[in-house]
Amino acid sequence: MNALPWSSSAALPPTENQPIAPVIETAGSDGSAESKGESQQDLLVFGKSDIKIKPKGVRVGNETVLGTDDRVRITNTKAPPWRKIAGLKLKPRPPQTSSYIGTGWFIGPKTLLTAGHCVYSPSDFNGWIGSIEVSPGQDAGVSPFRTVTATKFFALQQWINSADPDHDIGCIQLAEPLGEEVGYFKIASQTDAELENALVNISGYPGDLDNGRNQYFHQNRVLRTSAHRIYYDVDTYGGQSGSPVWVQASATSEAVAVAVHAYGIGGTAPSLGVTANSGPRLTPEIVLTVKEWLQAASA
Amino acid sequence: MTAAVPRSRCFIHVTLRDGQPLAGARIAVEHASGPVPELMYQTDADGHAQIGLPPGKVRLRIFTASGESRSADIDVGAEPDKTYDVTIDPP
């Protein structure tokens, strides 16, 4: 690997001078559940921008809300895409009795993606998590659909072997096809050119607001990409690990998830020269692995 | 890539000034010497939480059920499985 392997939002050749890989993707769905009320889709951002959406304010003191706190509460979590996103309560195996809050999102009828550290972490919960309560569209601490408990998980081998933040991606398998009701995101491996200056949307369950009981959304721009990570100035906080990072070409086009949010600014190397949160990128190789996870769920 | 800084298994014990354990508190890692996942950690009935932390100075932010928060600094050593007692003022 080169000493400075970062690509940036300025035009550069494909990441690390590798040839452009074919785009690998999965199918998405808005689900069969009825959707009523204001969809709040006017919050979403589409396409690209070479300027920030809002001027950066003064840091408000926590690690990962960048500048002023622009997060917006999602009040109609029964509507897509919000209902595809689930609050997670992570319960370690006994005798550990403390717990964790995270976020996951449906990519298939029985499958959610999340951060690898939400399912496997030797230092946080001594290896694999015991169980996860999955609450799609959780609002005021309750899912408008239902909460299901998952006990089957996968994670990228690089995450299991070396806790590499670039491969911090995990998977939750459900016993029932709740994703058929709430819908699921399409995922795709996008090229550096596609991600340059892309506007991204992130929604999840930050634990600093409303005790982690409500879904909050923010959006902004991709600041940098590397071979395995996307960096953005989107406000997040603890509890949003595992949130979807998605792009959308226009209001009428399909949402496409391109990364899994995992780290605040502490996860961004100073050499990048940006203050940004980040998540591992869905590379072609990773999407192929995710497809295997989807097949395992449908088997 | 950002180097994977090893995180040690740390036990955090949160109490109020009067010695009562703070059950159900939410803990975020605001600052550390290396990448720490954006999980929210929750204490059990005895005020205990387990967090993987890199060695060095760490700033935690602890949220009570009322939503108020306090910050607390700890100095994480290289030894694993150490308990760090954190005492905060009542909200």
| B25 part of contact set with chain A, CB < 8 Å | no
Catalytic residues of A: 117, 241
Strand-strand pairing, A72-73 and A7-8: unpaired
For residue range A37-88, list pLDDT tens digits in order: 788 888 999 998 877 665 444 433 344 666 667 889 999 999 999 999 999 9
Domain A22-28+39-298 of CATH type 2.40.10.10: yes
- Of residues A154 and A56, more confidently modeled: A154
Closest to A47 in 3D by CA, of A192, A169, A221: A221
Is residue B75 helix, strand or coil?
strand
The angle at the Cα of A198, spanning A195 to A202, to the nearest 5 degrees, equals 105
**In chain A, what residues touch B44 (CB-CB under 8 Å)?**
97-99
Contact A241 B38 (CB under 8 A): yes
H or E stretch at B14: strand B8-16
Question: Which amino acid is residue A265, in one-letter code?
Answer: I
Contact A100 B4 (CB under 8 A): no
On average, the pLDDT of chain A sits at: 88
Helix ranges restricted to H, chain B: none
Which stretches does DSSP call E strand in A75-198?
85-91, 99-108, 111-115, 120-121, 127-128, 131-136, 148-150, 152-155, 169-173, 186-187
Contact B38 A261 (CB under 8 A): yes
For residue range A116-125, list pLDDT tens digits in order: 999 999 999 9
Closest to A160 in 3D by CA, of A114, A123, A131, A120: A120
Neighbours of B24 (CB within 10 A): 15
Output the pTM of the full model: 0.91
| A207 part of contact set with chain B, CB < 8 Å | yes
| A115 part of contact set with chain B, CB < 8 Å | yes
For residue range A213-248, list pLDDT tens digits in order: 999 999 899 999 999 999 998 889 999 999 999 999
| B69 part of contact set with chain A, CB < 8 Å | yes
- Of residues A271 and A179, more confidently modeled: A179
Closest chain A CA to residue B54: A123
Give the domains, in start order, of chain B with CATH numbers: 8-88 (2.60.40.2070)
Name the residue ranges covered by the structural domains of chain A.
22-28+39-298
Contact A124 B51 (CB under 8 A): yes
**In chain B, what residues touch A122 (CB-CB under 8 Å)?**
9, 52
Length of chain B: 91
For residue range A248-299, list pLDDT tens digits in order: 999 999 999 999 999 988 888 888 888 889 999 999 999 999 999 999 998 8
Contact A206 B40 (CB under 8 A): yes
Most B CBs within 10 A among A1, A96, A121, A123, hence the mutation to make, goes to A123
H or E stretch at B58: strand B56-63
